[in-house]
Copies of this chain bind each other. A is one copy, B any other.
Amino acid sequence: MSVEVIAIGGYEEVGKNMSAVKVGEDVIIFDMGIHLDRIHIHEDTDIARMHSLDLIERGIIPDDTLMKDVDGKVRAIVFSHGHLDHIGAVAKLAHRYEAPLIATPYTMALIEKTIKGERKFKVTNPLKVLNSGEKMQISPDITLEFVRTTHSIPQTVTPALHTSEGIIVYSNDFKFDNHQTLSPPPDYQRFRELGRKGVLAAIIDTTRAAEDDQLKTHSEKVARLVLRDIMEEPLKEDSGMIITTFSSHIERIQAITNIASESKRKILLLGRSMERFCTMAENMGILKLPKSASIYGSPKAVNRALARADENRSDYVLVTTGHQGEPDALLPRIANGKTMFNVKPGDNVVISASVIPNPMNIANRNLMERRLKSSGARIFTNAHVSGHAGKEDHRDFIRMLDPKHLIPSHGNLNMLAAYTELAEEEGYKLGNDIHILRNGQAQVFNGGI
């Protein structure tokens, strides 16, 4: 029985991840993400109302039209975690396949939200929840397993397909963090077991593969320590305090609110996406907000909260969206004087995020920081650790899994090439057992493990 890996999206960019694995006549799809960066190219893009084919043409969602030429039956659409570049196209693409959507509970909740927000298509695929550590029979020949891993959003898993030809591992995205508070460490033992059983192919994300440092990515414990060192003193002072981070980064938000809760200040979680992710995480028992915390998402509620905070700034900690300086997000709007909260000299702004390095983010962030500074704020930048594996984590992972074939993904050609050089240090060779695919290409494995 031959196995085929089909690169649908995310093999030429950081974004719009989608891959398919065909085992005999059965096809399993992994992820259906969007490419946020492409939205800027056409100013009139209104995703919720647009048709898939238009979005495909604009490069915003994966071009899955090639799937009609794939001779097989899609048995499942499997999601690794809840970030938009992995689930954001589900409402545009899933209805074309007669197959269930499979994800961990938190990821599934986010998928349901996405489906509800869609105006163009009706997605009625069955939803099947699978917890990390659990398995599910997909077809007579294929069993899906969710192996526990860590990332910057809760309940991220590394799906593994058990087939007669060997195991196929889809690890996109992950980091190896042994010190998160909401998630246990990755299941290294299980990865090693899979390696011993025989991994035919591993699809791996390459987000940080082109970086110079030969390091393991810092743990969230480092972020907690750095945030505490930054926040502790200013929390005692009279000035305002605003913190911004990724709305979906529940682990980080837990850390921030924990530190803030040791002060006398009330905590306000503000912004629409902050509400979406945090409310859901709190309802599911993942995020444990201190009593002093409240969440406001609607513009009206946010503005009323900001007005109160403006009057008694030393009584509040604001946790907001807008870490990339996106013009419509909350912190950039505060910086631009468009809300009821007036930044004043001495106010502290902690940016618990790195700049996602594209020119528009860099420009937006720069503008936001200059505006905040010209109002007198003090800014702490990059109080952050990455959610993606570093070079030496990748090396460890290769050694654990010992896959027969490697397929780097989730990056431009430069990043796939950098991962390839790392893998070649570990004994692989491009074209022999490490394969660079372009969107739309497939790699066939005959013979199995």
Contacts and interface: CB of A to CB of B under 8 A. Distances in A.
Interface of A: 40-41, 43, 59, 178-179, 212-216, 218-219, 221-222, 225-226, 229-230, 233, 336, 358-360, 362-367, 370-371, 373-374, 378-383, 392, 395-396, 412-414, 416-418, 420-421, 424-425, 429-431, 436-438, 441
A370 B59 CA distance: 12
Q: How many copies of this chain sit in the oligomeric assembly? A: 4
B225 A367 contact: no
A230 B216 contact: yes
9 contacts: A178-B229, A179-B225, A212-B381, A214-B379, A215-B226, A215-B380, A215-B382, A218-B226, A378-B392
Contact of A360 (B363, B371, B436): B363
Nearest to A385: B222
A355 to B, nearest CB: 10
Given A214-B381, A222-B226, A429 B438 contact: yes
Given A359-B359, A417-B417, A430-B436, 4 more contacts: A214-B380, A215-B226, A216-B229, A414-B418
Contacts of A431: 436-438, 441
A425 B346 CA distance: 11
Contacts of A436: 430-431, 436
A371 B59 CA distance: 12
A101 to B, nearest CB: 31
A420 to B, nearest CB: 6
A184 to B, nearest CB: 16
A381 B438 contact: no
Nearest to A349: B214
A215 B395 contact: no
A147 to B, nearest CB: 19
Contacts of A430: 413, 436, 438
A429 B436 CA distance: 12
A181 to B, nearest CB: 14
Contacts of A359: 359, 362-363, 365-367
> Which of A229, A371, A412, A430 has most chain B Cβ within 10 Å?
A229
Contacts of A373: 425
Contacts of A383: 215
Contacts of A425: 373
A59 B441 CA distance: 34
A40 B327 CA distance: 12
A230 B416 CA distance: 25
A420 B413 contact: yes
B225 A41 contact: no
Nearest to A441: B431
A431 B359 CA distance: 30
A417 to B, nearest CB: 4
A215 B366 CA distance: 16
Given A213-B382, A362-B359, A380-B215, A336 B43 contact: yes
Contacts of A418: 413-414
Contacts of A363: 359-360, 362-364
A425 B379 CA distance: 12
